[in-house]
Structure 1
Amino acid sequence: MMWKRIGILLCVFFLAACSNASEEPTLGEDALLAKRYLEEKGYEIVSYKGGDTSRFEKEDLLDSPVRDTWSVQTTPPDDYIGRDIKREHFVVRNHLLDDQYELGQTNVLVLIDDGDIIGGTSFPDSKEPLMGAPYSLDGKTAEELHPDYWTWREQWETKYSE
């Protein structure tokens, strides 16, 4: 009888652990800030995928993916070098990329530094692997944000290789 109870308890704990694994991550303070920001921009939140923290140094600005991320920001990276940047990941609807790729929803990463939103990126929500650089939070390419892209790129390389 005791082994039966132990078996039942183990099954209950196993099922509880499995059910928590399929739930969305909990929205912390930064995630709630990012969610409100996205909703104010007119995006419908489909799901929250979680958050993480990243850090980059000056030399990282010459390499993908750090350069690609900062090439689609309106804020220069200088004030954020060596700092922990929080990245909150959501899937949204009503985004420019929804129809462009006919997928109906878009992944967005909101970049936050010490409680302030400093930018973000977007990319199509595809089950298939995608190649290429991210879009800005609003779905613009680096070339759209920097009309003379190659001049901008040369200036970037010169500035961050010093």
Structure 2
Amino acid sequence: MMWKRVGMILAVFLLAACSNESEQPAPTLGADAKVAKAYLEEQGYDVVSYKGNRMSSFEKADLLELPTQSTWQVQMTPPDDYIGRDIRHENFIVRNHPLDEVAELGQTNVSVMMVDGEIIGGTSYPDSAEPLTGASYSLDGKTAEELHPDYMEWRSEWEAKYSE
């Protein structure tokens, strides 16, 4: 009788231990995520998975610091209207993106930036098993230098504007 009770207690502990190691449930797509996913599909990307979202905000001085500067220098929308506002980043892994071949996994992380349900831009970076460093790419995989052909001149104007 005692051994049966010990066995039951052991079984309960084993089940509890195993259940703690299960992965978090996959994040579900809210309204903004659905808009972002549809936008990515319209751009020709195959959405592999949804990685959830996060919120951010920045002040004018942050535009001279990383990572804020790295994010905004690859946007087609100027940051001025979004200073001090909450920005939602809807994060996905996609395929059929220009950065797919940069790293070994053959897919790309994209972050769609939204304010009040509207897409204002985004960033991308190769999906890699190894940690990556460097500046952000635009949502479609371009560097700041590709988006601003006179990069040094553009950079000087940016620094003058946001250091005032």
TM-score, normalised to structure 1's length?
A: 0.89
Q: Using the alignment, how far apart are the partners of 2:85 and 2:101 within structure 1?
A: 35
- Aligned match of 1:153: 155
Tell me how far 1:29 sits from its aligned partner: 1.1
Q: Percent identity?
A: 61
Unaligned runs of 5+ in 1: none
Letter in 2 for 1:101: A
User: Bigger shift: 134-143 or 27-36?
Assistant: 27-36
Letter in 2 for 1:75: T
Instruction: Give the root-mean-square deviation of aligned CA atoms.
Output: 1.9
Asked if 1 retains the 8 angstrom alpha-carbon contact of 2:55 and 2:89, the reply is: yes
Matches within 5 A, 1:9-158: 18-19=21-22, 21=24, 23-158=25-160
Asked if 2 retains the 8 angstrom alpha-carbon contact of 1:24 and 1:47, the reply is: no
Return the index of the structure with the highest Cα Rg. Answer: 2
Letter in 1 for 2:142: K
User: Bigger shift: 37-46 or 98-107?
Assistant: 98-107
Tell me how far 1:83 sits from its aligned partner: 0.1
Structure 1 residues 16 and 101: alpha-carbon distance in aligned structure 2, compared to 1, 3 A threshold = closer
Tell me how far 1:103 sits from its aligned partner: 3.0
Asked if 2 retains the 8 angstrom alpha-carbon contact of 1:109 and 1:122, the reply is: yes
CA displacement, residues 125-160 of structure 1 (integer Å, 9 cap, x when unaligned): 011111110100000000000000000000000000
- Give the match's secondary structure for 2:66: coil
Give the helix-richer structure, 1 or 2. 1
Tell me how far 1:100 sits from its aligned partner: 3.4
Unaligned runs of 5+ in 2: none
Equivalenced residues, count: 161
CA displacement, residues 50-98 of structure 1 (integer Å, 9 cap, x when unaligned): 1010000000000111001000000000000000000011110000001
